Structure 1
Amino acid sequence: MKRTVITTSDGSSTLKVEDWGETYHSVHGAIQEALHVYIKNGFERINKEECRILEMGFGTGLNTLLTFINAKSLGRKVVYHGVEGFPLNKYEVEGLNYTSDGDMRDFEKVFESLHSSEWEREIGLTEFFSLKKIESKFESLSLNQEYDLIYFDVFGYPYQPELWSEAIFEKMYGALNENGLLVTYACRGVIKNAMKKVGFEIEVCPGPPGKREMLLAWKR
C-alpha cells in the first residue's frame, strides 16, 4: 500500500493512499475531524471514570493521541486497543506533524511511544492509559465483550465495502458492553441499515467540517 503524507486544511497532516486517492483523515482538517467525531461525539459521551476503547483502524495514531490528551485533562483512566491491518513505517510516522505546534509539543514523546511500542502486548504508557496494538485484518479479528466505546475509523465504503457489512457490525455489537457506543464519520443509508439489522440504535449527528452528518450506534 503506497502512502504519502499530505497537509489538510487545518494545517495538520494525514496520509493518502495513492492507488485509491483515499485519505486517512478528512482533507478539511485531520485534527478537527478527529476531535469532532471521536472525542466530542465519542469519548466525551461515555460517562465512566474508566473507559475501555477499541479502535478499528489505528492508522496514524491521531485518535489515540487525542484520547490520551483528553483522558489526562479529565482525569480518566483508559484501556485502549487499536487494530490495524497495514501498520505505518517509521518514515511515514516521522512525516506526521501532530505534535509540532503549540501545546501539542508537550505530547511528542507520547506520540512516539504510540508507534514505537510493541505490537500484541498491553503496554502501560502512564498510570492512567494503557495501549495494546493488534495487527490483524478486521474480517479475521476475534473479540470479547469488553468495550465501552468503539472508534470505527476504517477506509470509506467505496474502497472497502466489506468492512461496513452486517457481519462486521455484528462483531462490533458483540464486543460492546451494554450501553456501549460505536462512533464513525460515515452516514450512508446502507451502513445505517446494516447497523440496525444487528441491533444497534442509530443516532445521526452533525458531521465535522466538509461532512453534513455522522453516525452514533448505541447498544441498548
Structure 2
Amino acid sequence: MKREVKIIQTEDGSHSLFVPELNETYHSFHGAYRESIHVFMLYGLEAWYSRNPDRFPIRIFELGFGTGLNAWLTLVWAEQYHVPVLYHTIEPFPLEKEIYSQLNYIEVDTSIYHYAPYFKRLHEAPWNEGRIFSEYFNMKKDQTTLANAVLYPADVVFFDAFAPNKQPELWTKESLGKVVEAMNPGGIFVTYCAKGQVKRDLAELGLTVETLPGPPGKKEMVRATKAGG
C-alpha cells in the first residue's frame, strides 16, 4: 500500500511528513526529533531501563514505523549503552525510497552521525521478517495493520499512531486492549496523546496511568504501566 506524503521541516530543523489525505503530520510541528527523544526515548525506553537495569533483552513494540526515527534512535541507544533490544514494528504504508532517503535525522545530531548508515538499512530491510542489524539491535518489521498484526510480548510500547480524530480505529478500547494484553508484567506504554478518553480506557484495561510533561509545544503526554514485573 502507498500513501501520498510530503516532506516538511519542523521547528527543531528535523523533517516530518505531511499526509494530505488525513491533513495530518507524522510528528509535532514543534520538532520531530525532540518529540521522539522526549516521548519514546526518555519516558519510554530509558524509564524501563532505569526500573529494570538487569532485564535483557528489552522487547519493544512500535505502532507505526513511519519515518523510522524511533527505530533508529533506539538502535543508537542500544549500541551506546550496550543493551540488547528486540524491536517489533508495524506499518501498513511503508515509505518509498525517494522519501526516506531525503529525511535529515542523521544530520540533526552530529555526535551520532557515525550511526547514519543504519537509518537506510532499517528502511531497506525486507518486510515481514526479522533481521540482526547490529550487535545489540534486532528488528522485525511487519507491513500490516494493528487489527491484523500478530503481537509479541513487549516490555515497552511506542504507541505512535496518528491522532485519535485522524485514526479513531487505533484508539478504541479494543485496539488498546490488544496491545495491553501483549505487554509483559511491568511493561511501559508511552504515547504523545493525552486525551481523557485514552487515559480512562488505559486505566480500565488495568494500567497505572501517568500524565507527564509533553515535548516542546505540547503540554502533556501519557505513560501507563502494567502491574507486576
TM-score, length basis structure 1: 0.96
Aligned pair 1:51/2:58, yes or no?
yes
Identify the range of structure 1 (69-78 vs 58-67) with the bigger mean alpha-carbon deviation: 69-78
**Per-residue Cα deviation, 1:58-116 (whole angstroms, up to 9, x for no partner):** 10000011111111111111000111011111111012011135224212210011000
Q: RMSD of the alignment, in Å?
A: 1.1
For 2:63 and 2:11, the matched residues in 1 are separated by 24
Structural mapping, 1:14-33, within 5 Å? 14-33=16-35
Counterpart position of 1:169 = 176
1:32 partner amino acid = R
Aligned pair 1:122/2:130, yes or no?
yes
Count of matched residue positions in the alignment of Structure 1 and Structure 2? 219
For 1:92 and 1:103, the matched residues in 2 are separated by 24
Counterpart position of 1:186 = 193
Is the CA contact (8 Å cut-off) linking 1:98 and 1:104 kept in structure 2?
no
Is the CA contact (8 Å cut-off) linking 1:76 and 1:128 kept in structure 2?
yes
For 1:104 and 1:97, the matched residues in 2 are separated by 13
Counterpart position of 1:80 = 87
Is the CA contact (8 Å cut-off) linking 1:68 and 1:129 kept in structure 2?
yes
1:153 partner amino acid = D
Structural mapping, 1:71-110, within 5 Å? 71-101=78-108, 102-110=110-118
In structure 2, stretches of 5+ residues that fail to align are none
Structural mapping, 1:33-72, within 5 Å? 33-46=35-48, 47=52, 48-72=55-79
For 2:107 and 2:118, the matched residues in 1 are separated by 13
For 1:116 and 1:37, the matched residues in 2 are separated by 26
Is the CA contact (8 Å cut-off) linking 2:79 and 2:135 kept in structure 1?
no
* SS of 1:95 mapped into structure 2: coil
Aligned pair 1:131/2:123, yes or no?
no
For 1:84 and 1:50, the matched residues in 2 are separated by 23
Is the CA contact (8 Å cut-off) linking 1:81 and 1:131 kept in structure 2?
yes
Aligned pair 1:7/2:9, yes or no?
yes
* SS of 1:183 mapped into structure 2: strand
**Per-residue Cα deviation, 1:174-211 (whole angstroms, up to 9, x for no partner):** 11000001100000011111212221110110000111
For 2:208 and 2:178, the matched residues in 1 are separated by 15
For 1:40 and 1:100, the matched residues in 2 are separated by 20
TM-score, length basis structure 2: 0.93
Aligned pair 1:206/2:209, yes or no?
no
* SS of 1:41 mapped into structure 2: helix
Is the CA contact (8 Å cut-off) linking 1:10 and 1:31 kept in structure 2?
yes
Is the CA contact (8 Å cut-off) linking 2:206 and 2:226 kept in structure 1?
yes
